[in-house]
Homo-oligomer: A and B are copies of this chain.
Amino acid sequence: MKASEIAGLLESRISGNFDAWADTVDDIKGDKENSLSFISDPAYLKYLSKTNASILLVQDTIDTSEIDSNFLKKDRAYIVVKDAYRSFIKLIYKMIPDAINSSSCKITDKMISDTAKISDTAIIYKNVFIDEDVHIGKRTVLYPGVVILKNTIIGDDVVLYPNVSVYQNSKIGNRVIIGASTVIGSDGFGFIKDDDGSMLKVPHIGGVIIEDDVEVGSNTSIDRGTLGNTIIKKGAKIDNLVQIAHNCIVGENNILCGMVGLSGSTELGNNVIMGAGSGTKGHIKIGDNCIVTARTSISKDLKPGSEVKGMYPARPLAEELKVQTLVGRLPELYERLKKLEKGGKNG
């Protein structure tokens, strides 16, 4: 799609080469050539010098002087709009409909596609579905009920237990073990309000990359990235019923115990331990070697080596009801303490 064509679809102002061309979309941090990207927050201007995007949607509140000087080389264009992110989302639907619209898919009438490449030494149980252009490595075992959607690559010595679902374009390394009913590559949870108040789905065209020697338990969900990938680095171990949202990075040799929940774009360093039921807010970074104890909620970045705890402890029922009341009255108690310190007494 030409820049002028894109600008024509939007209420917008275009600068640079009107013939600049994009046939895909990318994050401003990504490296895809001929891509459309966007900037809705000045904090991302720093990525301008490195991006390969050929066309940029820019929020109308952003000072474009840096874009003028920095981005408009190499025959590129930028387009100023009122809501850069929303315009970008809508353009994805126009530019790459096949990446999103399942109902346009051609389907094979075989359980194992003729275009799948499966090692002779792989063990494929009955009732496994393998879609087009899937690769399955040596000695890999796929138990019954496993479904592998198209263009997925699975390495050697992998075990996928019954009823595991792997969405399209996933990459799974060697010696990976995945427990039953676990889902790899489901859509991330992203919606934006449209003009009419309805919710517009953010399409998810990124993938999931699971590196070597990872183990994942049963009934766990690992979402695909929005534009880039969700990445589980080598040696990480993930337990049952864990939620890993879109675009998370789970570091090497991490331990994520049962029922951990990572919100979108969480980045965990290497050798991080997340205790059972702990969780993170989105877009935060947890440094190498951090230990998060069970059921702790992390809402800001943690420096490497931090050990944090935030589990509200159990107490006998009657005692706890008193404690809870007093916790709620702390602002009042604090005022009373201050008054005493100033010499005041009640009454």
Contact = CB atoms under 8 A, between A and B. Distances in A.
Interface in A119-144: 123, 125-127, 129, 139-141, 143-144
A243 B337 CA distance: 43
A322 B331 contact: yes
Interface in A223-266: 223, 235, 237, 239-241, 243, 245, 253, 255, 257-259, 261, 263
**For chain A, which range describes its interface: under 10, 10 to 19, 20 to 34, or 35 or more residues?**
35 or more
Interface stretch (A14-22, A90-98, A213-221): A213-221
Given A223-B240, A343-B345, A180 B167 contact: yes
A155 interface: no
B217 A221 contact: yes
Interface stretch (A23-31, A78-86, A306-314): A306-314
Interface in A273-317: 276-277, 279, 281, 291-299, 306-317
A199 B123 contact: no
B314 A309 contact: yes
A336 B337 contact: yes
A267 interface: no
A105 B123 contact: yes
A62 interface: no
A293 B321 CA distance: 12
